[in-house]
Amino acid sequence: MSEKKYNVLFLCTGNSARSIMAEAVLGTMGKGRFNVFSAGSMPNGQVNPFAIEKVQALGYPLEKLPSKSWDEYAEPGAPQMDFIITVCDNAAGEVCPVWPGQPVSAHWGFVDPATAQGGDEEKRKVFDKVFRQIMTRAHIFASLPLATLDKAAIQREMQAIGARAPE
């Protein structure tokens, strides 16, 4: 019997950096266990070039990563999500659409690397740090024995991942 493939949606406000990188990281790390998506409450329509650099390094297909609205995942016919993960404090505090199927939700806050100041090297350092933090949390999540845990246990694990102190 094959293992269930889980649908995961990463949410942020602009869907230009953190949620994009999280989609690519879990999509790569998950080794086919997850269908991963990202979206924003107010997408700015453009992916940050430093996020594109990080995603390209993973070999994740860039055509899967346009900046898009979370509304398209709440429409009839959209994939039913198993997990909704907010990655910015703004999105975590917003009123989200009603997601069919009552997915497990969690908040994994990260500093917004898109607001980094300075030259390109300073900005890359901030993106590198946030990218490593996303990788750590995604690795822990991808390692969970989801098929053997009940929904309450999964919720606790997801919240614990989000509560991890950033390294």
Strands in 83-86's sheet, in edge-to-edge order, are 34-40, 6-12, 83-86, 104-107
DSSP state of 69: B
125 carries an active-site annotation: no
93 is written with which tokens?
A: 């505090």
CB 134, CB 110: distance < 8 Å:
yes
DSSP state of 159: H
> Residue 8: enclosing H or E segment and its boundaries?
strand 6-12
52 carries an active-site annotation: no
- The residue behind tokens 């991963």 is 36
N- to C-terminal Cα separation, the chain: 38
Catalytic residue among 42, 58, 96, 144: 96
Catalytic residue among 9, 17, 51, 88: 88
The widest CA-to-CA distance across the chain, in whole angstroms, is: 52
Catalytic residue among 8, 9, 11, 12: 12
88 carries an active-site annotation: yes
Q: Which residues pair with 69 in a beta bridge?
A: 40
Annotated catalytic sites, by residue? 12, 88, 96
